[in-house]
Every structure is written in C-alpha cells, then in structure tokens.
Structure 1
Amino acid sequence: MKKKYLIPLLAAGLISLLFFNCKDNANSGGQANRPPASFPVAVLQPKTITGFESYPTHIEGIVSSAVRAKVSGYVKNVLVDEGQPVRKGQTLFKLETQALSQDADAAKARVNVAQVEVDKIKPLVDQNIISAVQLETAKANLAQAKANYNSIIANIDYATVKSPVDGYVGTINFRQGALIGPNDPTPLTMVSDISQVYAFFSMNEISYLDFLQKTPGKTLDEKIKNFPKVQLILANGETYSEEGTIQTASAQLNNETGTVNFRAVFDNPNQLLTNGNSGTIRIPTTYKDAVVIPQAATFEEQNKILVYKLKPDNTVSAAVIKVKADIDNLYVVASGLKNSDTIVANGVGKLRSEMPITPQQTAYDSIVKPIKTLFRN
C-alpha cells in the first residue's frame, strides 16, 4: 500500500517543480525583453534671447527749482496749491508789504527834497553866486535818495514771489502768517518740470567694465550713444510704458562705494513719475543665435553644471557646460554644447552616464519657454 501512494506523490511534486521553473523562466524572459525607460529629448537650435541687468534708481524732474523769498516778511497769501501746474513768472506767494510801503513813501519824500535842493542851487551856480561843488553835492544826495527809494521798491516787488520755471508745485512748506526770510534753510516750495524725468543709478566696477567692453564705440560718448534703450520698473512692480535713454556716465569710480554713476532720461507725458519716485532700471542684453537650454535639463556635481547628451546608440553621456547668462528658467550656454546636439530635457536625476534610454522626441520650442515671474522690489 505504501508504494501505491508514493508514486503519485512523487509525480505531483515533479509536476509542481516543472511548473514553477517554467513560470520563473517566463518572468525572467519578460524582464530581459522590457525596453529602457523613456525620457524626453530635444535637438538644440539657435535661439535669440534677451536678459536684463537690474539696478535700483531714484527719480527727479529734469528741472527742480527751489522757491525762496528774497526779503523777510510774513506770508500774506498763498496763491497756488500742491501739484498745480504753473508757468514761469506766475505769482505763487505774496508777503506783507505795509512796512515796506511806508518806507517807500518816506524814501520818495527824501527824493523830492533832494530834487528841490538841486533845482534851487543850479541857477545860483549858473550865476556864479555859489560854488559848483555845492551843486555836485546836492546832485549826489539826490542820486543816493533815488537809490534808496529804488531799493525799497525792489523789495516790495520781491514780496511777490514768482515761479522761476514752468513746472508743478511741490509741497508748500509755509502757509499764511508764517515769517520767512532769504536765509531760511527750507524753501517755500519746489517747482519741478516733470515733462521728462531723470533716473539716477549706479553700476559696480564689474558691470561697468562689462559695459565698456561689450558696448560698441571707441569713446565713452560713443558707447553711451550705442547703449540700448532701458526699462523702468515702478515701485508697484509694473513696467513703465516709456523706454529710457542713457545720457551720461560719471566715468569715475567712487572710492567709497566702488560704483560709477549713470543718468537715464524718460519721457513723462502723463506725469505718472515725479520727484522722489523709486524704481529699478533694467538694461537689456541680447544673445543672438545662442545655445539655450532649460535649467530643468541640468544638474550640479562638484560645483559644475552638467547635462546629459544622447549618443547615437541611445545611451547618454554627461557633459560639463559653462553658463553665460541665467534668464528666467533658462541658461545661455557659453561652452560644452552646440546647436544640433540632442539633450535629455527632463528627469536627469534618474540617469547615469552610459545608461540606455528610450528617447521621446520633444519640440525644442516647448522646452525653452521662459517662465514669467512677477517683478518686485
């Protein structure tokens, strides 16, 4: 009986062993035939791209004139308001002139007395009754009296304070009843011409050397004329509608700050800008037909930036690149890649050199779209 049951059991075990061996062989065969992992790849093409260097700036009107009194006195009338447009010569303030008017009346009386004296002496001199010296003395007294009178009249005129330029009235620092004088450190107000504005900014030594070396022209004046138009980013992060022109550069490095001062000018047709505004100057640099790759296609190793290039056998090799510029989410490549190279566009963290992949061809334009970021100071 034991032999009767032993043979079927041995047969069942053998069948099970054969089944599991076949299954393992099938599984191992499937893994061996599985294709390499897929990765997006793209062929590099020439691309023109513009980057910007940014510099803090402060804004002033092209003309900014302090309005001061030429004589001392109390403010009688303020005839304008802050922000009001005014013309050159327009009256802005009037000072109290009662005391000056009284002085003028007295001076006028002295002029009349001196004139009478001259008129009385002249015929006597003509008749040789008195010396001509007396007539000259009388004439001198008359001239002095007239000068005193004219000086007082001028002071009365100075009590009417007028705008020195066309522009817009700034903060009014003194109101009716305030005592003011020509030696006050604070002006009555400022009148600014803001039809155009100046934007003042500074470059450090490295940026200034780059400007000198990269901008066409033999002299500094020629380089400034060839400098591209600049943008102004306002304090709220918006780009100002008008482009600006670089006008001047100090051409001397400030020993204390290590910077060179620049001035740009912007048209200001809507008076959006005024004295005291702040912002950021953006100076463009255009790279023509450059090698441009997404930063997502790169990785760092030992302070070097690398990419994976696709080889003809569909394996990848790491290549070290040097970066010329960082613009949005893109790199402008100085060396290490050339146009027509094929690179892995994404997922490089999963790769290693000589690893086979299944390349998925991706349109180059789709991987080099810059990511726009909101600009904030």
Structure 2
Amino acid sequence: MQIHLRSMPAVLAMAASILLLAACGKGPGPQAAAGAQPAPQVAVLTVKSEAVPLVLELPGRTTPSLIAEVRPQVGGIVKQRLFSEGSEVKAGELLYQIDPASYQATYDSAAAGLARAEANLFAARLKAERFAGLVQIEAVSKQANDEAQAAYKLAEAEVASARAALAKAKVDLGFTRVSAPIAGRAGRSTVTPGALVTANQEQALVTIQQLDPIYVDLTQSSAELLKLRRDLQTGRLARSAADSLPVRLLLEDGSEYAAVGKLAFSEVAVDQATGSVTLRAVFPNPEGVLLPGMYVRARLEQGVSQDVVLVPHAALTRDARGHAVVMVVDDQNKVEARTVKAERSLGDKWVVSEGLAAGERIIVEGLQRVRPGVQVQVAGAPAAGAAN
C-alpha cells in the first residue's frame, strides 16, 4: 500500500488521537488509588473518672518479733543438752544442765554458815538481855553491858551476811540450769556435753527467735513519704483506714502470703545513707512459712486516689523521651496523640492522673494502623465500665 505525501499530516493527526484516547482509558494511578482507601477501623474505650486505692509496693526483710541469745551466767562443764536444734521451745524450758556439784557444795556451806550465825545470835541476844537487867542494879559494869549489846548487834549482822551468802549460792546453783528466756524456735547449739563454759561469755550457747508473730521491716523513700503527706493534705488522696493499714506480702517466688498483716509503726528519722524511712509491719506466722532474713515485697494500701482514669496497658505507649502517650478520638473521629501522666500500674491498667478527662475516647485496638490527624472508623467500642 502506498501513502501519498499529501495525506501524511492526516495520518499523523489520527495516530495522535488514538494515543490520547488510550491514555485517558487507563485506570487511576497509585496516588489516586491510595486516596480512595477507607478510613482504618479502631476500637475505642470511653474513659471515666473514679477513685482507686493507692497501693505502694515496698521491699523488705523479715525479722523475728523477739530474739534471745542464751549465755551461761556461771562457769562449769556442760553435762546435758536437753533440746533439739531447730525445735520450738517454751519460756522457762530447760535447755542445758551445767555440772552443779561445786555450786551445791557452796550452797550447803552457806546454809551451814547461816545456821552457825543464827546460833551465835541466839547466845548473844540472851547475854545482852541478861546484862541489860543486871546493869540496872549495878550487878555488872556499864562497860560490860555495852560490850554485850555490841556483840548482839554484831551477831545480827553476821546472820544477815550469812543469809545473803546463802541467797547468792542459791542463785548460782539455779544458774546451772540454763532455761529458755522466751518461747520460740531454737537455733544451732554452739556447745556439746563436756564443753567448758564461762559466765557471760561472748559466744551464745544458742539463739532463740520468736517467729509468730513475725516482723517485716520495709523501706520507703522520704520523697515518697513527703508526696503522700502532701496529697493527703490537698485532698487528692483520702486515707483508707484510720487505725491501721492492711499489708499484703509477695514472697521470693512471686506467690502471695496467705495472711494479711498490719502496719505497726514508722521510723521517726530518715536514714542518712539511703534517704529512706523504715516501716514495720506485723504478720501472723503460725505455720512458720516466713523465716528471718527472707526478702519480700509488701503491698501497702496508703490511701485512695480521687478522680483518676484507668487505661488498659495496650492503649498506652511511650514516646522517644519516655513520656506516656494515648491516642484520643475526638467528635469528628480524628486521632490526637495525647501526653498523659501515668506514674503507677494497678493490675492490668495504668492509673492516669493527668491528661485525660471523663468521657473522652481512647484507642485500645488498632494503634498500629493510625497516626495523629487521620480519620478513623470506630467499631466494636467496649463499654465505659470495661476499665473497672
């Protein structure tokens, strides 16, 4: 087929028209397709203001409520040990028997000395009474009577001294029986029968510890204590109990101790080395689960936080500076990033004290699909009471 040069412009115009129509018939580009995507769907929670307990979790150590280091008060050879190591002993129960032979002899000698002094006193009293009558009729000299009266007084003093010696000998003899000063659990014995002990020696024979009830000494920073008092004064916190505060324990394995304790006292001074204050709690320990020196964590309810908001953990994130952030959906279903104050956790929720108001909606599902300023579709919103 031959094309004449005179018809070439018409052919070129027709080709351009065909290309233009083909370009107009193509689908929308990637940008147009993206603009047509639907708004992401999210689940929101309508928050509400409520009062929640202020629970502080503090570290602590268990310590016996009573402790006694048993030492001998007289010297001698230990004849018997009359308790089992690690067993429970009663107050006054015999623990050790020290050889009493020499102390028994001293006691017997003191008793004999008292009997001799009493006999001398009897004779001196009779003589003094007789001379007192004879001196009235001048049958004896006044000097002889004075000597008789003095001898009587001396005999009385000797009797008193003999009685004191007998009492001391009796006490020393009693000290050969080493008894438990308190009820509690006996520890390891440091001596065996045949050992020589001395009075008031440095090493204790055995240590007895009373573990029921048992103390738990907790440490709280002075800064936290000041903040607590300030919040109570301003009304931000309401004291939950007037008399005593309940305390719960978390053991080293993460389990919760069954019994509930109570706060006994707080230290009146701040430790200069740590800047902390010691709180002491008392716990019943009938089964002996708590042993001295155990590390525990105590949950102490110190008051009630007023007008705070509970936010699920999944709804709160942290920005690059570590600030707590939640995504708020406004009335036009637009997303806003809101910085809030969340200082502590309660169960599976954060306690938000600033940044959120009752009635606002926060995103709890679909956070990965949104960014501030985008329009969202609210679907499957939980009820307002879900934060309780």
Shorter-chain TM-score bucket reads 0.7 to 0.9
1:231–1:240 CA contact under 8 A, matched in 2? yes
SS at match of 1:361: coil
For residue 22 of structure 1, the aligned residue among 21, 25, 47 is 25
State how far apart, in whole Å, the 2-side matches of 1:121 and 1:315 are. 116
Counterpart amino acid of residue 189 in structure 1: V
**How big is the shift at 1:37?**
2.6
Given the alignment of the two structures, is residue 54 of structure 1 paired with residue 57 of structure 2, yes or no? yes
CA contact (8 A) 1:42 1:361 kept: no
Q: Distance in 2 between matches of 1:240 and 1:228?
A: 16
- 1:249-288 superposed Cα distances (whole Å, 9 cap, x missing partner): 2233333432222221112232322433331222235445
Match for 1:147: what amino acid? A
Deviations 1:68-110 (A, max 9, x none): 3222222221111233223222212211111212223333333
Encode CA deviations 1:108-136: one digit per residue, 9 max, x unaligned.
33334434444455544454487233333
Kept in 1: contact 2:335–2:374 (CA 8 A): yes
Letter in 2 for 1:330: K
Aligned: 1:84 with 2:87: yes
SS in 1 for 2:246: coil
Check conservation: 2:45, 2:384, Cα contact below 8 A: no
Paired amino acid for 1:344: I
3-state SS of the aligned residue for 1:210? helix
Partner Cα separation in structure 2 for residue 366 and residue 20 of structure 1: 57
Partner of 1:332: 351
Aligned-pair CA distance for 1:55: 1.9
The equivalent position to 2:109 in structure 1, one of 102, 106, 111, is 106
User: Pairwise CA RMSD of aligned residues?
Assistant: 3.7
Q: Name the SS for the 1:345 alignment partner.
A: strand
Greater Rg, structure 1 or structure 2?
A: 2
Q: Which amino acid in structure 1 is aligned with residue 223 of structure 2? A: I
In structure 1, the partner of 2:217 is 200
Distance 1:243 1:307 in 2: 36
| C-alpha distance in structure 2 between counterparts of 1:250 and 1:262, whole Å | 6
| 1:95 has 2:112 as partner | no
Moved more, 58-67 or 108-117: 108-117
Q: Which moved more, 1:173-182 or 1:125-134?
A: 125-134
Give the one of 141, 145, 167 matched to 2:162: 145
Matched, 1:68 2:68: no
Q: Distance in 2 between matches of 1:213 and 1:307?
A: 28
User: What is the match of residue 196 of structure 2?
Assistant: 179
Instruction: Say if 1:43 and 1:134 are closer, same or farther in 2 by CA, change over 3 A.
Output: closer
Q: Which residue of 2 aligns with 1:212?
A: 229
Q: Within the alignment, does 1:351 sit opposite 2:354 as a pair? A: no
Deviations for 1:26-52, whole angstroms, at most 9, x for unmatched residues?
987755433123333332234555553
| Amino acid across the alignment from 1:74 | I
Pairs within 5 Å for 1:1-377: 1-3=1-3, 18=21, 21-25=24-28, 31-46=34-49, 49-50=52-53, 52-128=55-131, 131-215=148-232, 225-226=242-243, 228-284=245-301, 286-287=304-305, 290-297=308-315, 298-300=317-319, 304-327=323-346, 330-348=349-367, 350-363=369-382
Letter in 1 for 2:69: A
The verdict on how the C-alpha distance between 1:328 and 1:22 changes in structure 2, with shifts beyond 3 A counting, is farther
CA contact (8 A) 2:72 2:205 kept: yes
1:338 maps to amino acid: A
Partner of residue 134, structure 2 = none
Q: Secondary structure at the match of 1:145?
A: helix
Q: Distance in 2 between matches of 1:308 and 1:223?
A: 33
Aligned-pair CA distance for 1:342? 1.5
- The alpha-carbon distance between structure 1 residues 354 and 120, as it changes in their structure 2 partners (threshold 3 A), is closer
Alpha-carbon shift at residue 156 of structure 1 (Å)? 0.6
CA distance in 2, matches of 1:171, 1:74: 19
How far apart are the structure 2 equivalents of 1:189 and 1:86?
Answer: 12
CA contact (8 A) 2:47 2:387 kept: no
Q: Aligned with 1:230: secondary structure?
A: strand
Looking at structure 2, the residues matched to 226 and 209 of structure 1 have their Cα atoms a distance apart, in angstroms, of: 20
**Unaligned stretches of 5+ residues in structure 1:** 370-377
The structural deviation recorded for 1:319 is: 2.6
Q: Identify the residue that residue 373 of structure 1 maps to in structure 2.
A: none
Q: Indicate how the Cα distance of structure 1 residues 38 and 104 shifts in structure 2: closer, same or farther if over 3 A, else same.
A: same
How many residue pairs get matched? Answer: 364
5+ unaligned residues in a row in structure 2: which ranges?
132-139
Query: Deviation digits for residues 300-333 of structure 1, max 9, x if unmatched?
Result: 2555433322233332223332335344553322
Superposition deviation, residue 229 in structure 1? 1.1
The answer on whether the counterparts of 1:345 and 1:367 sit within 8 Å (CA) in structure 2 is: no
Identify the range of structure 1 (275-284 vs 22-31) with the bigger mean alpha-carbon deviation.
22-31
CA shift, 1:159, in A, is 0.9
Cα distance in 2, alignment partners of residues 286 and 88 from structure 1:
44
Partners of 1:294 and 1:368 within 8 A in 2 = yes
- Alpha-carbon shift at residue 155 of structure 1 (Å): 0.5
Deviation at 1:245, TM superposition (A): 1.2
User: CA distance change for structure 1 residues 300 and 203 in 2, over 3 Å: closer, same or farther?
Assistant: same
The letter of the residue matching 1:62 is S
How has the CA–CA distance of structure 1 residues 335 and 148 changed in structure 2, closer, same or farther, with 3 Å as cutoff? closer
1:157 to partner: Cα distance: 0.8
SS of 1:238 mapped into structure 2: coil
